[in-house]
Amino acid sequence: MFFKNYRTIIFVGAIFTAALILLSYSLKYDSGTSFVKKLVLEAAAPVQKMLNASIEGVSKAWTRYIHLVELEKDNRILKNRIAGLQTELILYKEGYLEAQRLQKLLSLQNDYHHSPIAARVIGREQAALSKTLWINKGSAHGLKSGMPVIVPPGLIGRLTDVSWHSSKVLLLIDENSNVDVLIQRTRVHGIVRGAGSRGCVVRYVSKIQDVKEGDVIMTSGMSNIFPKGLLIGKVSHVDPMDVGLFLKIQIAPLVDFTTLEEVLVLVADQQEIFAEKKTTK
C-alpha cells in the first residue's frame, strides 16, 4: 500500500541515489574507461558512424560550394586579367609591327640620295576617279608638291597638294598619275599610268620590244621628280593588241595601297637640287 502510494517518489529517489552513487564511484575510482562507459561508447559508435557520414557529406558539399564560389571569383578576376593582358598584347603587337614597318622604311632611307621624311597616313580617298592619301606632314616639315612618296619596297606616288601640316599623295594607281619607267630586264622605257582597281598600265612600249610577264618595272629617273631605281611593280599581263603600235602591258604594284599606314617622302638634298639647277642653266 505504502509502495503503491509513493511509487513515483521512491522511483525518483532511487534514480537520484543511483546517479549519485555513480558519480561518487567515478570520482573515487576513476579508472579511465570503465565498463559502463565502454558499453555506451560501443552503442554510440554505429550512430556516430552513420551521422558522421551524413554530416561529412554535407560538410564536403558545403566546402565544395565554398570552393566553387571562390573559383567563380578567381575565374572572374582571371578573365579580367586576361582581357587586360590581351589589350596590352594588342598594343605591344601594334608597336612591334609599327617598329618593323619603320625599320623597313629606315633601311630604305639609305638607298637614295634623298632625305626621307616619315609621315603617317591620316586619311585615304579611294573613289572611282581619285586614288589619294592624306599624310600628316606638310610644308612646315619641308615637303613640297611633286615629291616622291615611297613605302618598302618601292614607289607609291607623289605629293600633289601640300598644306602646312598635311599633304595629299597622288597614288600610282590614280588615273592621273604618270611616271616615266623602264623595264629592268630589257631597259625599255615606258610611261606607267594608273588604272584604278586594275593597278597600273605601261604605255608607249613598242610592239617589237621584248616584254614578259614578271618583268620588274622601276623608275627611270628621266624626270626630275622620281629618283632612278624605285620599284613600281611587276608585269602581270602583256597584250600585243591587233591594232596599234604599242603593247598593252598591265602591271601589278608591289604595294598594297589599302593597308598603308606610314610612308616616306623623299626630299631631295639641297646640294643635289642646286647641282640640278646649275646643270639646267
Query: Which residue ranges make up the site for other proteins (CB under 8 A)?
Result: 8, 11-12, 15-16, 18-27, 30, 34, 36-37, 39-41, 43-44, 47-48, 51-52, 55, 59
Q: How far is the CB of 97 from other proteins (least distance, A)?
A: 59
Residue reference for cell 601589278? 252
218 within 8 A of 234, measured Cβ to Cβ: no
> Taking the complex as a whole, how short is the minimal distance between the CB of residue 16 and other proteins, in angstroms?
6
* 21 versus 85: smaller Cβ distance to other proteins: 21
- Cβ 45 to other proteins shortest distance, Å: 9
- Kindly tell me which of 10 and 90 has the beta carbon lying closer to other proteins: 10
Cβ of residue 90: shortest distance to other proteins, in angstroms? 50
C-alpha cell at 252: 601589278
DSSP secondary structure string for all residues of the chain: -HHHHTHHHHHHHHHHHHHHHHHHHHHHS--SS-HHHHHHHHHHHHHHHHHHHHHHHHHHHHHHHHHHHHHHHHHHHHHHHHHHHHHHHHHHHHHHHHHHHHHHHHHHHTTSSEEEEEEEEEEEEE-SS-EEEEES--GGGT--TT-EEEETTEEEEEEEEE-SS-EEEEETTSTT-EEEEEETTT--EEEEEE-GGG-EEEES-BTTS---TT-EEEE---SSSS-TT-EEEEEEEEE--SSSSB-EEEEEESS-GGG--EEEEEEEPHHHHHHHHHHH-
Q: What is the CA radius of gyration of the chain?
A: 46
DSSP assigned state of 110 = T
Nearest approach, Cβ of residue 19 and other proteins (Å): 4
Q: Which is nearer to other proteins, 34 or 236 (CB)?
A: 34
Our CB check for other proteins shows the closer of 37 and 67 to be: 37
> Which one, 60 or 79, has the nearer CB to other proteins?
60
For the bound state, the minimum distance from the C-beta of residue 2 to other proteins, rounded and expressed in Å, comes to 18
Shortest reach from residue 9's CB to other proteins, in Å: 9
Minimum gap (Å) between residue 29 Cβ and other proteins: 10
CA distance 186 to 173: 24
Question: Helix (H, G, I), strand (E, B), or coil: what is residue 185?
Answer: coil
Name which of 8 and 259 has its Cβ closer to other proteins. Answer: 8
> Judged by CB, which is closer to other proteins: 25, or 274?
25
- Closer Cβ to other proteins, 21 or 222, answer by number: 21
